[in-house]
Structure 1
Amino acid sequence: MKIVVFGATGGTGRETVAQALAAGHDVTAVVRRPDALQPHPGLRIALVPDLNDAELVDDALVGCDAVISALGTNAKGPVSVCTDGVRSILGAMTRTGVRRLVVVSAHGAAESHDGSLYSRMLWAMLGDKMRDKDEMEKLIRASTADWTIVRPPALKNKPHTGTYRAGTDLRIGLTSAISRADLADFLLREATAATPAHLHQTPRIRN
Structure 2
Amino acid sequence: MSLMATVLILGANGKIARLAEKELLARTNHHLTLFLRNAKRLAPADSKRETVVEGDATDPAALQKAMVGTHIVYANLAGKNIEQQAKSVVNAMDNTGVKRLIWISTLGIYDEVPGNFGKWNHQMLDGGYLETYSAAAKVIEASDLNYTLIRPAWLSNKDLISYETTEKGEPFKGTEVSRKSVADFIVRLIDDPSKEIRHSVGVNQPNTDGDKPSFY
Please indicate the TM-score interval, normalised by the length of the shorter structure. 0.7 to 0.9
Structure 2 residue 38 is the aligned partner of structure 1 residue 33: yes
TM-aligned CA deviation for residue 117 of structure 1: 2.1
TM-aligned CA deviation for residue 148 of structure 1: 0.8
Q: Which amino acid aligns with 1:16?
A: A
Aligned-pair identity (%): 25
TM-aligned CA deviation for residue 152 of structure 1: 0.9
**Aligned-partner Cα distance in 2 for 1:116–1:201:** 24
**Aligned-partner Cα distance in 2 for 1:180–1:59:** 29
Quick one: which of 46, 64, 79 aligns to 1:58?
64
Partner residue in 1 for 2:52 = 45
The answer to whether the 8 A contact 1:4-1:28 is kept is yes
Q: What does 1:1-207 correspond to in 2, within 5 Å? A: 1-22=5-26, 23-41=28-46, 42-48=49-55, 50-73=56-79, 79-80=80-81, 82-112=82-112, 116-127=115-126, 128-161=128-161, 163-168=162-167, 169=170, 171-173=172-174, 176-196=175-195, 198-207=196-205
**Aligned-partner Cα distance in 2 for 1:43–1:100:** 19
The answer to whether the 8 A contact 1:170-1:205 is kept is no
TM-score by length of 1: 0.87
Q: Which amino acid aligns with 2:71?
A: D
**Aligned-partner Cα distance in 2 for 1:15–1:58:** 25
The answer to whether the 8 A contact 1:6-1:69 is kept is yes
Per-residue CA shift, 1:18-59, capped at 9, x if unaligned? 2122222111111111211112321111100x3232221111
- Higher mean displacement: 99-108 or 31-40: 31-40
TM-aligned CA deviation for residue 166 of structure 1: 1.6
TM-aligned CA deviation for residue 109 of structure 1: 0.6
**Aligned-partner Cα distance in 1 for 2:74–2:6:** 11
Structure 1: gaps (5+ residues): 74-78
Partner residue in 1 for 2:211 = none
Q: Which amino acid aligns with 2:99?
A: R
Q: Residue 73 of structure 2 aligns to a residue in which SS?
A: strand
Aligned residues: 195
